[in-house]
Amino acid sequence: MMTINDIKRLISKDETRTLELKKSTGELNKGMETACAFLNSDGGWLIFGVSPSLKIDGQNVTDNTRQEIANTLRKIEPAIDVEVEYIELPEKPDFYVIAIYFDSNNFKNEPYSFDGRAFYKVESTTALMPRQMYEERLKLSNPNRFSWENTPNAGIEISDIDTELLYQTLHDGIGSRRIHASAMTLHDPEKILLKLGVARKDGTILNAANVLFGKEPSLLHPQCKIRLARFEGKDKRFFRDQTVCEGNLFEQYDTVIDFCLKHLNLSGRMDSKYRQDRLTVPYEAVKEATVNMLCHRSWNADNCTPSLAIYDDRIVFQNPGGFPMGMKWQDFIDEQIGSIPANPTIANVFYRRGTMEAWGRGISLIMESCKEQGLPKPEITVTPPFVNLTIYFDKPLDISARENNSNTTPPVKEDITPRKDNIHPQSETSSPHVTPQEKVFEFCNTPRSITEIANMLGVNDKKWVRKKYITPFIGIVLEPTIPDKPNSKNQKYKTIK
């Protein structure tokens, strides 16, 4: 039970972020706007009966006064249960100070509103909550209800799903030990989708399933695409190559990696007695930046899509979205804050498949790998509605290309790569550059091991190199030197003449 002395101590510091003083309940509505702001911020005291000069005048309280306060409190949504204290002034019988404490810790993340409007505290002032903040609070309060990725979509059927990709994801997840081996018995696509968290028990398929495994996901979700370009110079006036991938997220991932391997130069260095080739930007940084761009993007706007731009002096990964409310990218560097993915369902599938290496390490890995290679510190900027990651090169691409001419395969006039439309769906290109596949074919004119091929590409992920550049072309362009022992440690691959 509060006393007048308690009130005096409370008001001794005047109004603050957590204290609002009103002369009487004649300002009841204004006071409740502040109460709403307290609930949406750090909590605080709302006190009636104290003048702006901090004089404790109190006010007469009748049954009508109490009823009016109760009715006004009901305009706060979601509904709250607070105690209203009436402290009588010793020297003024029947005059009271009215004190209400609003504890934000006792309530949910869901944004509170008063009379249909949400308020929050900006220092000691009460302000209308911006729409973006309001929507962010809604998502935080009930991710499953408000998240785009977990929204059921009646327009998606099993026939729209690339079941081969679905089975491969399950197989890769088991192989990386991120999916239990017992899942190997699953053959029904609906059960696999359920296992991966992108469908419900009633058979309803979620938006996440379409963008992860859809055959033509952009038909339902036009924002499911990514734009890639290699520009001439340091601005966007002229381009050497451009492509648009409208495939699912795994196809987009492969397209980005291929595009980077195609346009980023290789340089050689001696590591012990062996030559090690590396990309202009570390492969680890390219991989992590691509995963971040695809997994953490916003899906709420049909006209906002990710993009990759390669200039002579830098590479820029851009995705629609932002960091969690109240956080900056620097907060994730020291790993004091765990992973807070914008799309946890999509990110979880990437992780379980083995495409994402670790939770909450993406930015740190990018920074560390660039530092190890002697590159300038990458820059991360937020320009709503986009987040930009920029990695600068130590040398302009054209200069590096001339210095490392011996590492660049001459352009191949005839494309001997077997066409597979779903690798680069709906792409348009005007590039004279050599594709990674063509580099592999040229390189394998002399039999090469998987390690040699990976080093030539500047990639340390041999499993991915085998999957992307070896296996699809066996018997078509490439052949193993030990065909009866495909898993031999001495296995090499050569181009079919």
Determine which of 283-297, 334-348, 482-496 has the lowest per-residue pLDDT on average.
334-348
For residue 149, being part of any structural domain is answered with no
**What is the rounded average pLDDT of the residues 236-247?**
94
Q: What is the pTM of this model?
A: 0.68
Residues 62 and 97 in one domain: yes
Among 92, 113, 142, the domain-final residue is 142
Cα maximum dimension of the chain: 106
Domain check: are 382 and 405 in the same one?
Answer: yes
Residue 160 tokens, joined: 């729209």
* End position of a domain, from candidates 76, 108, 142: 142
**pLDDT per residue as tens digits for the range 182-231:** 999 999 999 999 999 999 999 999 999 999 999 999 999 999 999 999 99
Residue 273 has pLDDT above 60, yes or no: no
Band the pLDDT of 15: cuts 50, 70, 90: confident
Lowest mean pLDDT among 310-324, 370-384, 390-404, 475-489: 390-404
pLDDT digits (tens, 9 = 90+) for 455-466: 998 888 888 899
Q: What percent of the chain has pLDDT over 90?
A: 66
230 and 211 co-located in one domain: no
Range of the domain at 165: 158-219
Question: Would 150 be classed as within a structural domain?
Answer: no
Same domain, 117 and 15: yes
Based on the domain organization, do 215 and 233 belong to the same domain?
A: no
Most confident of 262-266, 283-287, 356-360, 396-400: 283-287
CA–CA distance, 356 with 351 (Å, rounded to integer) = 4
Flag whether 152 is in a domain: no
Q: Compute the chain's Rg from CA coordinates.
A: 30
Of 6-10, 57-61, 96-100, 358-362, the poorest mean pLDDT is in 358-362
Does 351 share its domain with 473?
Answer: no
Band of residue 338 on the pLDDT scale cut at 50, 70, 90:
low
Range with the lowest mean pLDDT among 49-58, 427-436, 477-486? 427-436
How much of the chain, in percent, has pLDDT values that exceed 70? 87
The CATH number of the domain holding residue 107 is 3.30.950
> Can you give the CATH number for the domain in which 479 is found?
1.10.10
pLDDT at residue number 336: 59
In this structure, are 250 and 343 located in the same domain?
yes
472 assigned to some structural domain: yes
In the structure, what pLDDT confidence band is assigned to residue 104 with cuts at 50, 70 and 90? confident
pLDDT given for residue 464 in this prediction: 86
| Residues written for the chain | 497
pLDDT of residue 459: 85
Note the pLDDT of residue 337: 63
Both 230 and 213 in a single domain? Answer: no
Which range among 59-63, 177-181, 294-298, 430-434 shows the weakest confidence by mean pLDDT?
Answer: 430-434
How confident is the prediction for the chain on average, in pLDDT?
87
Single-letter amino acid, residue 71: N
Same domain, 184 and 248: no
User: 425 with 492, same domain?
Assistant: no
Higher pLDDT, 443 or 417: 443
Total domains present in the chain: 4
Whether 170 shows a pLDDT value over 90: the answer reads yes
Q: Do 80 and 209 fall within a single domain?
A: no
pLDDT of residue 49: 96
